[in-house]
């Protein structure tokens, strides 16, 4: 029995793929990119595979996730300060190594569509790791805020990939999630290591009716919504009106999945959000990862050739 994953036409076109993208972040252009280039030029030998670098960075984030899961299995436990400092360092080095792997690929001539897809996959898994670690750090517990902190960046990731599919380019703005977003997160980890996680449950100075962690999630969700609207606008400018309507239709399954995830988390008969919060977040997160990989590998083809 034959199993077709890529058509003959697709296989012929695959080697011709070239990544197109632009990152206008000041943090990226003036700090992360020069640092990553220095690391590649100074420390990485030509035989080191780029995806090994990505995997190493993800392993650091996974380790910090496991540590916080041990101390806060229900997302509301307090860990030692060292755990938060390690989480900050792990996410920072993941960010640096995520930039480094692309430079290593260009240095060694190993850039490929499969390598890019692997990198996107690691970024997708990092969304789940980081969301769980952040909810633990900010003592959100099994609540709608924890769900929101996972779903907001998931939407940003999916909409960015969706835009790339229709425009042919991944363009990141002056302030974006992969750079400033991660920087905010590891700064929060470091602050928590110094002041303790209880500061995130205190009333917000600007809006005392809500604690700091809830305000953070609301701000994250609003920022995510704004970025998703930018993605939609960019696609509307890049394609015909008819194709734009079809493109919006392709988002409907993911939007439905987000709504179903919220509904199940809040109203499941077994109250899974409170009984198994990490399991729920991981289930939703891993399904999102599969959607990200699928959307990153879409191509127009016919299996009837």
Report the sign of the C-alpha dihedral through residues 219, 192, 278, 283, in that order.
positive
Cα radius of gyration rounded to whole Å, the chain: 20
Q: Which residue has the tokens 């490929």?
A: 112
- The rounded Cα 194 to chain-centroid distance in angstroms is 26
Say if residues 164 and 100 touch (Cβ distance below 8 Å). no
Question: Which CB contacts under 8 angstroms, 24+ apart, belong to 216-222?
Answer: 216/138, 217/140, 217/145, 217/148, 217/149, 217/152, 218/148, 220/148, 220/149, 220/152, 220/153, 221/148, 221/152
Say if residues 127 and 158 touch (Cβ distance below 8 Å). no
CA distances from 90 to 64, 93, 97, 109, 138 (A): 7, 5, 10, 28, 17
Q: What is the DSSP letter of 211?
A: B
- Tokens representing 76 are 């509301």
Q: For residue 4, indicate whether it is catalytic.
A: no
Q: Which of 65, 120, 274, 276 is catalytic?
A: 120
* Residue positions counted in the chain: 305
- The rounded Cα 279 to chain-centroid distance in angstroms is 18
Burial, 123: exposed, middle or buried (Cβ in 10 Å; 0-12, 13-18, 19+)?
Answer: buried
- Tokens representing 301 are 């083809």
Question: What are the residue numbers of the active site?
Answer: 120
């Amino acid at each position: 029995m034959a199993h077709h994953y890529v058509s003959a036409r697709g296989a012929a076109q695959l080697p011709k793929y070239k990544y197109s993208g632009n990152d206008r972040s000041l943090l990226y252009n003036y700090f992360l990119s020069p640092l990553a280039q220095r690391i590649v030029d100074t420390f990485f030998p030509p035989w080191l595979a780029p995806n090994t670098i990505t995997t190493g960075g993800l392993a650091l984030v996974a380790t910090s996730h496991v540590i916080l899961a041990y101390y806060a299995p229900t997302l509301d436990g307090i860990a030692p300060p060292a755990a938060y400092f390690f989480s900050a360092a792990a996410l920072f080095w993941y960010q640096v190594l995520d930039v480094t792997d692309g430079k290593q690929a260009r240095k060694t001539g190993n850039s490929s569509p499969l390598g890019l897809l692997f990198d996107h996959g690691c970024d997708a898994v990092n969304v789940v790791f980081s969301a769980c670690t952040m909810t633990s750090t900010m003592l959100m517990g099994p609540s709608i805020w924890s769900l929101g902190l996972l779903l907001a960046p998931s939407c940003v990731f999916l909409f960015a990939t969706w835009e790339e599919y229709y425009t042919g380019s991944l363009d990141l703005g002056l302030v974006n999630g992969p750079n400033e977003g991660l920087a905010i997160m590891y700064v929060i980890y470091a602050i928590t290591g110094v002041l303790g996680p209880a500061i995130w449950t205190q009333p917000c100075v600007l809006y005392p009716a809500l604690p700091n962690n809830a305000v953070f999630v609301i701000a994250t969700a609003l920022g995510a919504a704004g970025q998703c609207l930018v993605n939609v606008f960019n696609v509307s400018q890049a394609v015909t009106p008819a194709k734009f309507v079809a493109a919006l239709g392709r988002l409907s399954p993911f939007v439905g999945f987000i709504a179903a995830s919220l509904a199940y988390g809040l109203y499941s008969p077994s109250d899974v959000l409170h009984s198994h919060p990490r399991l729920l977040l991981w289930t939703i997160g891993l399904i999102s990862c599969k959607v990200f990989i699928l959307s990153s590998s879409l191509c127009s083809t016919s299996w009837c050739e």
